[in-house]
């Protein structure tokens, strides 16, 4: 698969087949992705791969917290405190497109909650990757981490796998640290659902839009 095809075909998958992913394949994907660049070669990534009972236990605790009304608190601010109009509109469009694809009405709060709860189950993917970073690292390392995670997603696509990067899996960092005490001194960045796409599920037909170059690129000569 060439880079152009991978970039155009990568998407956030929200329904997966009940089919296990080989740890050997996951290791190969991470092995390839660790070549991502990082400032002065710091390589700030630390990864936990969860499958089976470990994955289910963690995800069930996430969902229990969510349904109990615990809104969680990430180790850092992922979203702005105040949304500028252009970002607010894109956020709104993103949600409306998802719910319209699933035919979930605005008034149907129960189905909306059930759909959101799937975030904490990693959309029933057979495996999740959780990403950690030392608390001493600064914003530059967050940029490095983004390149590493994108590399994982593109490599996964070449291996016939689908992914969904998820801030939601970092919303309950205390639960993560309780379940994975070896990371108790680390900052929880986010997670990634990984598995085989359920191509028959309508939710995977959902696509967000992208802005034209004219809206965000300036040229100088």
Q: Enumerate the H helices of the chain as residue ranges.
A: 3-9, 23-33, 52-67, 85-101, 109-117, 139-158, 173-179
DSSP string, 139-181: HHHHHHHHHHHHHHHHHHHHTT-EEEEEGGGGS-HHHHHHH-G
Phi first, then psi, for residue 161 (nearest 5°) are -110, 160
* pLDDT tens readout for residues 102-151: 999 989 999 999 999 999 999 999 999 999 999 999 999 999 999 999 99
Report, at the CATH architecture level, how domain 3-77+120-205 is classified: 3-Layer(aba) Sandwich (3.40)
Query: What is the pTM (predicted TM-score) of this model?
Result: 0.96
* pLDDT tens readout for residues 60-114: 999 999 999 999 999 999 999 999 999 999 999 999 999 999 999 989 999 999 9
Residue environment code for 118-148, b if the CB has 16+ CB neighbours within 10 A, otherwise e: bbbbbbbbbbbbbbbbeeeeeeebeebbeeb
Instruction: Retrieve residue 6's tokens.
Output: 């991978």
């Amino acid at each position: 698969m060439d880079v152009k095809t991978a970039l155009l075909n990568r998407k956030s998958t929200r329904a997966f087949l009940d089919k296990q992913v080989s740890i050997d394949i996951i290791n190969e994907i991470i092995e390839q992705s660790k070549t991502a660049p990082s400032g002065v070669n710091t390589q700030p990534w630390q990864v936990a791969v969860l499958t089976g009972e470990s994955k289910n236990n963690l995800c069930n605790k996430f969902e229990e917290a969510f349904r109990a009304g615990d809104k969680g608190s990430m180790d850092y601010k992922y979203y702005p405190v105040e949304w500028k109009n252009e970002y607010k509109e894109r956020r709104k469009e993103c949600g409306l497109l998802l719910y319209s694809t699933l035919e979930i009405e605005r008034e149907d709060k129960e189905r909306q909650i059930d759909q959101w709860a799937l975030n904490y189950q990693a959309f029933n993917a057979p495996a999740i990757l959780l990403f950690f970073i030392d608390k001493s690292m600064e914003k530059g390392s967050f940029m490095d981490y983004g390149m590493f995670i994108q590399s994982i997603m593109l490599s996964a696509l070449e291996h016939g796998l689908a992914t969904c990067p998820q801030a939601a899996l970092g919303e309950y960092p205390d639960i993560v640290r309780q379940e994975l005490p070896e990371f108790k001194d680390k900052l929880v960045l986010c997670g990634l659902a990984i598995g085989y796409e359920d191509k028959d599920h309508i939710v995977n037909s959902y696509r967000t839009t992208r802005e034209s170059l004219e809206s965000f690129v300036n040229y100088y000569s």
